Structure 1
Amino acid sequence: MQKRTAHAIPLRLRPLSAVVMMLVSAGALGANPDSSPAPSSAEVEFNDLFLHQPGGSAVDFSRFNKGNIVLPGNYRAELYVNQAWLGRMEVRMGETAGKDSPVLPCFDEPLLIRIGADSNKLTPAATASLQDRDACVPLHAIIAGATASFDGGEQRLDVSVPQAALTRQARGYVDPRYWSDGVTAATLQYNGSAYQSRAEARTATQGYLGLNAGFNAGPWRFRHKGSLGVDQGNARYQSIQTSLQRSVVALRGQLVLGDAFTDGTVFDSVGFRGVQLASDDRMQPESQRGYAPSVHGIANSNARVQVRQNGNLIYETTVAAGPFEIDDLYPTGYGGDLEVVVTEADGSVRVSRVPYAAAVNALRPGVTRYGVTAGQYRNAGLHGRPAMFQATVQHGFTNMVTGYGGVVVAEGYLAAAAGAALNTAYGAFGADLTHAGTRLTTQPDRHGFSARISYSKLVEPTGTNVSVAAYRYSSNGYLSFADAMTLRELEQRGMQSAMRGIPRSQLQLTLNQRLPPGYGSLYLSGSVHGYWNRRGTDTQFQLGYNNSYKSLNYGVAASRQFSVSSGRWESRVMLNIGIPLGKGQHAPYAMTGIERDSSGAVNLQQSVTGSLGVDNAFSYGVNAGYAGGSGRHAASLAGNASYLSPVATLTATAGKGSNYSQVSAGISGGVVAYAGGVSFTPTMGETLAIVEAADAGGARLANGSGLRIDRWGHAVVPGLVPFSRNQIEIDPKGLPVNVELDSTLQQVAPTAGAVVAVRFATADRGRPAVIRTSRADGKSIPFGAEVQDAHGNNIGTVGQGSRIVARGLRADRGQLTVRWGKAAQDSCRLDYALPAAAQRATRIDVIEAQCH
C-alpha cells in the first residue's frame, strides 16, 4: 500500500470524516437504530443520501464502513501517556493483520522507549514481534492491559499503560545508552566590540574580543577560552582557560585536563592547572540538578559592563541605559564573588560585588557527589603556581541528613572541613567547620578555624521565601586557600604588610515576600563583611517593591552601601515605570526611571524600546536622560540597535551628553565546521546540534526565535541540554510546495559539549495543483471521488464544486483517472497541463481541465 503522510492527505477529506462521525453518533446511517452501539471496529453501512448532490452520481463510501476511518500512513500527533503530555511525534497507522483489519497505531522499540515502557518486563514473544520492521504491532499485543487510540481530527495519540509496565525513573531521565557524543567538529564562538568615548577633550578607545574555541573528537572536548583587550592602541591577550575534557559515564563524572575551576560546595572555588575528576550533576535527570546565578544592575547610559571572577575577565558586553540582567555567564565554579564593573559613557566607573556562595548542600538519599583535583594553583593576580591537591565528598544519608567534607593540601597550606545539611520542617540548615594551617617564613605560622551556618525556607502561609541566610565567622589565624597563597607570595616579595582584608565575619541575606494577589511583591538582599586587619565593614543592601496595574508595570527600590575608602554611606532611591505604547506585536515599550542619591543628585531616564521583523530580528532603543542637583546639570541622548542576522548578531550604540559623546559597535556569533560543511550562527552555546535538511532552505526551526535553515540546508541549534531529551523540530512553513519532510521532529540526548548532526530526510513529492474540472456532459464529479495518476497512485480527492486537490504530479503534463465507484462507467479521465515551474515555487497552481 502506498505510504501516506499527514500533510499529504487532502484537507477536504477531514471535514468529510467529521461529518461521517457525526452521522454515526446521531444514528443517521443505515445501521439498525434499535441495536446497541457497536464498537469502533464494527462495520456500519453509510447512507449516502446525506451527501447526495443533485444531478450527480453516488460515490462509493465502502472504505468508511469501518468504525476507524483513519487511513494507513504517518501522522504528526500529540502524544499523551496516562493523560500526561510527552510532546509531539510521528505515529504510523497501519493494518495489523490484513487488508480488511482495523487501522491501529503501530509500535516499535523507539516508541516504547518514548512512552516509558520497561523493556525488562516484555515477554519474549513481544520482543520478537518488534524485530519485524514491516509488521504493524499494536500496543495490546506487547503489553497486557495497555491501549492506544488515535484521534485523527485532533491529531492526538492517547496511550494507557499499567503503572507496573512503566520504568520507575525520575522525571527527565534518559538511559545513558542513548547519549550521543556527536560528530567530529571544530567550533568558534566570538564576541567582539569597539567602544569610544570623548569627555573633556580626551578620547578613549577600547576594543574587546572574547573567544571560545573548541574541537570535538569522539568523547573528547578541547576547549580554549580567552580575551583580547585593546586600550588606546595597546593590545593584550589573556588566556582564561585551556582544557581537554570528556564525560566518564561509568563514574557519572567529568574528567578535565588543563585549566579549570574547583567546585565551591565545600571550599571556595579556585582556579587550577592540572587534572580533575568530579561529579557532573548534568548527568542526573533534570529534576535532580542545581541552579545557575545571574547578575542584575542599572546603567545610566550606553555602558560597558565587565564581570570578573577570581581575577579573570569572564564576560563583557555593552548595555543600554536602564536595568540590565546578565544570565548567560559560563559556569566557572559554584563559589567566588563576582565583581561587576559598569563603565558609563562619560567615563565614570561603578564597581559592585555579587555574593556567590554555595547553597545548602543537601542531597537526595543515596546520592554521592565527589571531586578530586591535583595540579597547580592558578590566579591571574599572582606570579607563582604552587602545587595543590583537593578532594571533597558529599553523600545523602537520609531525606533529612547529608554529610560532606574535604581536604586541601598545598605548599605551606593544609585545610580540612566537615559539615552536615539538615532538611527539617523548620527549613533547611547547613553547618560546617573548617580548620586551616598556613606556614610562613618571616611571620608566625597561622592556624585557625572558620564556622559557617546557612538557612533557607519558604514560609508558605505568608509567601515569604528566605532564599539564603548565611553567617560565617573566621578566627584571626584562619586563612582561606586563596588568601594563604596571596600572603605567602607577598611575603616572598617582602610585601607582607600589603595583605589587607583578612575575613572575620560575613552575613548574607536574600528574602522575597509575595503579597496578596494584586499587591505585588517585596524583596530584600544584603551582605555585611568584617575584617581582622582592616577598619570598617563592607555593608550593602537593597530593598524593593514591584507590581503592575493592567499593562502598567512599576517598581521602587532603595539601596544603601558603605564605602570603606570614603568612610561614608551612599544611598539611592529609584522609581521605574513601564508601559507598552500600543497593542500590536511590535508595539514599543516605554520605561521611565527616576533616581536620587544621598548627595542630592537626581537622574531621570526615559527610554523607548521595540523590535521589528517577522522574527523580531531587529531591535532598537532610544534613551534620553537628565542629571541635576549637587551643582551640576547635564542632559544626554542615546540610541542602540541590534540585528539578529542568519549568520551573526550585530549591535551598535551612540550617545551624546553635555560634555561627552560615545559610539560603539559589536558583532557576536559562532562558526561550526564538520565533515558536512561549515555553518554560521548568530548565537551559540556549549552543546549544539547541526540540522541537515536538503532543499529545505527557509524553513523555520521551533528551537529558537528567527532560527531558519540556510540555503545550503544547514542550521545550528544552540543551547541543547546535555544528557537530556532535546526536541529538534522543523516548521515546514516556507518550504517549496514540492518538497516534503519525511518527519518534522527528532530527539537527541547529547553529552556535554557535543555537536550532534540531526538529519531530516526530504523528498521531492512532485508538484501540487488545484484542478477545476467537470464531466463532458456538464455534470459535477461526485464529492469524495479518488484521483489516480497514470501509475495507479492515489494523488488526491475530489472536493466541493468538482475541485481536485492533487499532490505528487511528477510531470508538467499528463493524464489522471477519477473514480467514484467500482463499475467501469463510474470513472473518467482528464488531461492536465501545468505552467512552467519556478525555481522555488511557494504557491499551488490552479488550472482547469475537463474529465472525459
Structure 2
Amino acid sequence: MQVRRRQRLFPSRLCPCCVVVLSLFSASTGRAATAGSGDVEFNDAFLRQPGGGKLDVSRFNEGNVPLPGTYRADLQVNGAWLGMAEISLRQAGNDARNVQPCFDRMLVERARVDVTRLPAQSADRLAHAAMGACMTLPELVPGASAVFDNGELRLDLSVPQSFLSRSARGYVDPRYWDEGVNAARLAYNANVYHTESTGVSSTQGYLGLNAGVNIGPWRFRHYGSLSYDAVAGNRYQSVQTSLQRSITPMRSQLVVGDAFTDGAMFDSFGFRGVQLATDDRMLPESQRGYAPTVRGIANSNARVQVRQNGNLIYETTVAPGSFEIDDLYATGYGGDLEVLVTEADGSVHAFFVPYAPVVNALRPGVWRYSVTSGQYRNTGVQSTPLFVQATVQHGISNLLTGYGGWLAAQGYFSFVLGMAMNTRYGAFGADATHASTRLASQPDRSGQSVRVSYSKLVSPTRTNVTLAAYRYSTSGFLNFAEAVATRSLDDPNAAPVPGAVRRGRLQLTISQGMPAGYGNVYLSGSTQDYWNRRGRDTQYQAGYNNSYKRVSYGISAARQINLGTARWENRVMLTVGIPLGRSPHAPYAMTSLQQDSAGVMGIQESLTGTLGADSNVTYGLNASHSSGRGTVTNSVAANAGYVSPIATLTANASRGNQYSQYGAGVSGGIVAYAGGVTFTSALGDTVAIVEAADATGARVANTNGLRLDPWGHAVVPNLMPFSRNPIEIDPKGLPLDVELRSTLQQVAPTSGAVVHVRFDTGKGGRAAILRVRTPDGTPLPFGTEVFDADGNLAGTVGQDGRLLARGLTRDAGVLTAKWGPLQADTCAFRYALPASAGNPGRALPRADGVCGDLASAVVSMKRIHPDAQGAQ
C-alpha cells in the first residue's frame, strides 16, 4: 500500500476494531491508490451488510481529512521542529476531501525558506497570497510539499535544501522563543541532622532557598541558605540576589545585583553590581553551563556540604559508601568546589573538585564578551572594593581564537592576553596575566602568571579530557581575590600577611571509556606548590567501573584532608553489586571493602530498592564493620525516600559503637501563576506548567513519576533554554470521557521562563456505550458514523451495533446515524443516560437505542424530555 507520508488512514475517533478490520481488508486486496495523490482505496467486499447492501467506506480513502479553518499547530520542516504557527486550511474546489494549507510570505519565511532564491513566478504568487489568495507550498517553492497531520496537529513540510536559509542544526528562530507567563516560584531543600557521640550531642539544620518572580522578560532571583547549629545558633547567608533578563539582539544576559564573573580568563569571584555578558546558550548546539560532578566516599550516613568562593551552595545527606552529586547549579565558570564530609561520629573530611572553564576556542567569526562593574563580594573578607572587568574573545579562523581582558580596582590592576588553537589534536590554550597590587605597609607586589590548558574528546579511544591545565605564577603575582585579602589585612601595625603564595598548579579532569565490556575510568584532581612554604598539596578522586552480566563492580580512590587531625588521608574502596531478582523493583545488594592510609579496614553491606508504580519510594539498609588502630567498630544504618506529587521526603538513621544519628529532609518547589498554585517535587531554573482540565492522574512523560494533580496541573522541572523541548502527556489510564485533542507540544523557553502549556481536553461532555438497532432488531451496519445535533462526529459503530459515543453534552438527546450517501442510509435514535454524578468516572453508562425516522425520534424525545437536544 502506498500512502502519503505521515498520513493517517483512519479518523482518530474510529474504534480500534474498525481500524484493524479495515487495515486487514485493505492490505489483503492490494488495491492501493496512486502515489501521486496519496489516496487509498479500500475493498468493501468483506463489509457486506445484511440483505446484500454495501457499506460506504469512501470517506476513509483520504485518511483523516481536516475541516477548513485556522489551526495552531507545530511547524516541522524536513523533520526539524521550528515552533508553533497559525495554519489556515481551505477547501480546494468543490471536493470536500481536498483541504490544503495556505501559505503567505510570513509562513514561507518562517519555514526558513530564503525567498530571494525562489523563481520569479513565486514572487507574483506571494503577491497574490498577500491579497488573500490561498497559495499552496508547491506553487511557491518548486519541489516542496506540505502535509497537515490532523491527529497530531502538525504541519510537515518537505523543502529542497537549495531553497532553505543557511542555519546551524538545532536552530530555533529567536522570534519563537517563549518568555513565559508572569509567575512566582520557590525551590527549597531542607534537612536536619542530629548526632550523639561520646556523650556529646549536636544538631544541625539547613534550608536552601531559590526564590524568584517572573514579570515578562525580567527574572528576579534570590539564592540563600539558613543554617542552624545548636551551639552557634541560626545564620542566614545570601548567596545571590539578582534581577536579570535576556537581551536577544545582543545574544546576551543582563544581570543586576549579585552574581559571579565567568572565570574564563580571570579567576571567578562574586560581585554586586551590573554585568552584561554573552549567553552561549542562545547559539544552536551551544555548550551549556558547566558544573562538575562531585564524587566521594562516606563511612556512614554523612552530611555533605559543597562550598564555592566561601558560599554554601549545596548540602545533602548521603548513605554509607561512594556517593556522586551531579545536579549542582552552574553558579560560575571558575572557583574550585570545597567538599566537606561530616561523618555520623563527628569526624570531618574535606577535598576539592577542580572547577574551571574549558579552553576558550570559538567558531570562526563568533564574538564573546563580558563587562562587569560593581563591588567585590566574598563572605571571607570585610573589604568590598569597587572594580571594573572586561573580557572579549573572537574566533579568528578555524584554527585560532584570540582573547584578552583587564580588571581594575582600587590598588589593583591586571590584564591578560591569550590565544586558543582548535586543532585535530584537541584545543590548546595559552595566556599570560600581569597583575600589580599596591600595599600600604608592605612593598608593592607585581608579577605574572602563565597558563597552558588543553581539552579534547578522542573519539577512537573514547578519551574525554575535559580540562588539563598548568599555571605558573611568579612570587609577586596575586589574583584579585588574593589581592583583596592581602589589602584588607594591610596596615602599618599588622604583621606580614600569612598564608601560602601559589607557585605552580596542575589540574586534570579526564574520563576514559574502555573497549566494549571493559568498563570506564575517571580521574579528577589537582596538585600545587607554593613560594613561601615547602611541600605540595595533592588531592584526587579516581575510579574504575565495569559490569559482567548482571554483576557490577568498581574500584575508587580518593585523597582528602581530615580536618580534625589536619592530615591528608588516602582511601581505596572496592565495590561489587548484584540485583536480587529480575523484576523492576528487585532489591540491589552492594558489598564494599574499604581501607585508608592509616590501616583501618572496613566492610559494608547495603541493600537498596524502589517501590510503587512510578518507583517513587526508595529505601536502603546498611551494615558495616571496621577494624584498625586498635579499635573495632560496628554500625547499622537505614534511609528512605518518597517522591510525592508535591514534595520529596527523605529520612535516615544510623547507630554505631559510640554514636547514633538520625535525620530527615524535604525538598520541592512551588509555582504560582494566574491559573493557580502548583506544587512539585523538584523545580529547576526553566520550567513548564502543564495544564489539562479533567486529566487528573495522567502521566507527563518528561519526568519519571510526574503526573497531573487533582486540578489537572503539573510542573516539568527542567527545560533547556532557547532550545526545543517536547512536552508529552501519556493518556493511558484516563477516564474514557476525557479526550486529549493532542498529546505532544513543543516549547522553546528563554532562560528562567515559566512557560504555560495547555492541552485541550475537547469540548467536554459525557461518554457512553450505546447499542443501536433498527426497528426490526438488526444492528446498525459496522462502520456507521454517528453525529450529534451540531454535526460533530460522536463515534463509529463497531460489532453488534455497539457504539462508544463521546462529547454528549446532555443526559438525553437524539443522535443521527449515517452509513451511505443516500437518504435511506440515514436514521436517528434517541438516548437517555442516568443522571451524571458531576465527576468524570471510569465506569461508562450504557443505553440502548432504536434507529428510525428522524422526525419521529425528535418528537418522541421532546415528549419525554422537553429540553432535550434535537437532531440535525
Distance 2:38 2:325 in 1: 61
1:739 is paired with a residue whose SS is: coil
1:128-147 Cα distance to aligned partner (Å, 9 max, x none): 677799x9864323422112
1:273-327 Cα distance to aligned partner (Å, 9 max, x none): 1221111122222345453322122222221111111111111111222222222
Paired AA for residue 95 in structure 2: D
- 8 A Cα contact 1:248 1:254, kept in partner: yes
Match of 2:37 in 1: 41
Match of 1:777 in 2: 776
Larger mean CA deviation between 549-558 and 712-721 belongs to 712-721
Larger mean CA deviation between 252-261 and 390-399 belongs to 252-261
Match of 1:228 in 2: 226
1:586-645 Cα distance to aligned partner (Å, 9 max, x none): 222222211112222112222222222222222222222222222221121111122222
Distance 2:150 2:673 in 1: 41
Match of 2:483 in 1: 484
1:329-360 Cα distance to aligned partner (Å, 9 max, x none): 22221111100011111111110001112211
Paired AA for residue 184 in structure 1: N
- 8 A Cα contact 1:310 1:379, kept in partner: yes
Distance 1:636 1:115 in 2: 64
Q: Does 1:212 align with 2:206?
A: no
TM-superposed deviation, 1:802: 2.6
RMSD: 3.4
1:343-400 Cα distance to aligned partner (Å, 9 max, x none): 1111111100011122111011111111111111111110111121111111110011
Match of 1:622 in 2: 621
Distance 1:142 1:641 in 2: 62
Match of 1:164 in 2: 162
- 8 A Cα contact 1:490 1:499, kept in partner: no
Q: Does 1:63 align with 2:59?
A: yes
Distance 2:432 2:40 in 1: 79
- 8 A Cα contact 1:265 1:358, kept in partner: yes
Distance 2:39 2:189 in 1: 66
**In 2 relative to 1, CA 560–294 (structure 1 residues): closer, same or farther, beyond 3 Å?**
closer
Distance 2:643 2:38 in 1: 56
Distance 2:27 2:150 in 1: 14
- 8 A Cα contact 1:14 1:153, kept in partner: no
Distance 2:607 2:137 in 1: 57
1:358 is paired with a residue whose SS is: coil
What does 1:321-332 correspond to in 2, within 5 Å?
Answer: 321-332=320-331
What does 1:515-594 correspond to in 2, within 5 Å?
Answer: 515-560=514-559, 570-594=569-593
- 8 A Cα contact 2:440 2:492, kept in partner: no
In structure 2, runs of 5+ residues without a counterpart are 1-8, 853-872
2:379 is paired with a residue whose SS is: coil
**In 2 relative to 1, CA 307–846 (structure 1 residues): closer, same or farther, beyond 3 Å?**
same
What does 1:419-430 correspond to in 2, within 5 Å?
Answer: 419-430=418-429
Paired AA for residue 475 in structure 2: N
Match of 2:680 in 1: 681
What does 1:246-395 correspond to in 2, within 5 Å?
Answer: 246-289=245-288, 291-395=290-394
TM-superposed deviation, 1:753: 1.9
Larger mean CA deviation between 17-26 and 468-477 belongs to 17-26
Aligned residues: 836
Distance 2:317 2:444 in 1: 46
Match of 1:32 in 2: none
Distance 1:800 1:132 in 2: 51
1:246 is paired with a residue whose SS is: strand
TM-score normalised per structure 2: 0.88
**In 2 relative to 1, CA 380–794 (structure 1 residues): closer, same or farther, beyond 3 Å?**
closer
Distance 1:709 1:165 in 2: 43
Match of 1:475 in 2: 474
TM-score normalised per structure 1: 0.90
What does 1:124-163 correspond to in 2, within 5 Å?
Answer: 124=123, 127=126, 138-148=136-146, 159-163=157-161
2:443 is paired with a residue whose SS is: coil
Larger mean CA deviation between 307-316 and 142-151 belongs to 142-151
Match of 1:191 in 2: 189
**In 2 relative to 1, CA 196–542 (structure 1 residues): closer, same or farther, beyond 3 Å?**
closer
Match of 1:636 in 2: 635
Q: Does 1:239 align with 2:235?
A: no
TM-superposed deviation, 1:167: 2.8
Paired AA for residue 30 in structure 2: S
In structure 1, runs of 5+ residues without a counterpart are 28-36
Distance 1:817 1:783 in 2: 15
TM-superposed deviation, 1:569: 6.1
What does 1:762-801 correspond to in 2, within 5 Å?
Answer: 762-790=761-789, 792-801=791-800
2:245 is paired with a residue whose SS is: strand
Distance 1:155 1:689 in 2: 20
TM-superposed deviation, 1:120: 6.5
1:641-695 Cα distance to aligned partner (Å, 9 max, x none): 2222222221111111121111111111222223333222221122222333333
2:16 is paired with a residue whose SS is: coil
**In 2 relative to 1, CA 595–751 (structure 1 residues): closer, same or farther, beyond 3 Å?**
same
Match of 2:13 in 1: 8
Distance 2:779 2:684 in 1: 59
**In 2 relative to 1, CA 837–130 (structure 1 residues): closer, same or farther, beyond 3 Å?**
farther
- 8 A Cα contact 2:289 2:330, kept in partner: no
TM-superposed deviation, 1:532: 0.7
TM-superposed deviation, 1:785: 2.1
**In 2 relative to 1, CA 129–521 (structure 1 residues): closer, same or farther, beyond 3 Å?**
farther
Paired AA for residue 48 in structure 2: H
- 8 A Cα contact 1:408 1:414, kept in partner: yes
- 8 A Cα contact 2:559 2:568, kept in partner: yes
- Alignment equivalent of 2:179, drawn from 178, 181, 186: 181
Match of 1:721 in 2: 720
**In 2 relative to 1, CA 267–781 (structure 1 residues): closer, same or farther, beyond 3 Å?**
same
- 8 A Cα contact 1:172 1:287, kept in partner: no
- 8 A Cα contact 1:104 1:149, kept in partner: no
2:30 is paired with a residue whose SS is: helix
Paired AA for residue 199 in structure 1: S
Q: Does 1:97 align with 2:92?
A: yes
- 8 A Cα contact 1:301 1:320, kept in partner: yes
Match of 2:845 in 1: 845
Distance 1:622 1:784 in 2: 58
TM-superposed deviation, 1:830: 3.6
Match of 2:868 in 1: none
Paired AA for residue 16 in structure 2: L
Identity %: 57
TM-superposed deviation, 1:475: 0.8
1:286 is paired with a residue whose SS is: coil
- 8 A Cα contact 2:152 2:744, kept in partner: no
Larger mean CA deviation between 550-559 and 739-748 belongs to 739-748
Match of 2:24 in 1: 19
1:59-117 Cα distance to aligned partner (Å, 9 max, x none): 223435x5x343335999999754x4659999989674135265466366898678644
2:175 is paired with a residue whose SS is: helix
- 8 A Cα contact 1:8 1:807, kept in partner: no
1:145-191 Cα distance to aligned partner (Å, 9 max, x none): 11245799999986421002223212222222222333332222221
Q: Does 1:711 align with 2:710?
A: yes
**In 2 relative to 1, CA 47–621 (structure 1 residues): closer, same or farther, beyond 3 Å?**
closer
1:238 is paired with a residue whose SS is: strand
Paired AA for residue 191 in structure 1: N
1:837 is paired with a residue whose SS is: coil
Distance 1:493 1:199 in 2: 46
- 8 A Cα contact 1:538 1:563, kept in partner: no
TM-superposed deviation, 1:243: 1.8
- 8 A Cα contact 1:273 1:377, kept in partner: yes
Match of 2:820 in 1: 821
TM-superposed deviation, 1:436: 0.9
Larger mean CA deviation between 38-47 and 537-546 belongs to 38-47
- 8 A Cα contact 1:6 1:76, kept in partner: no
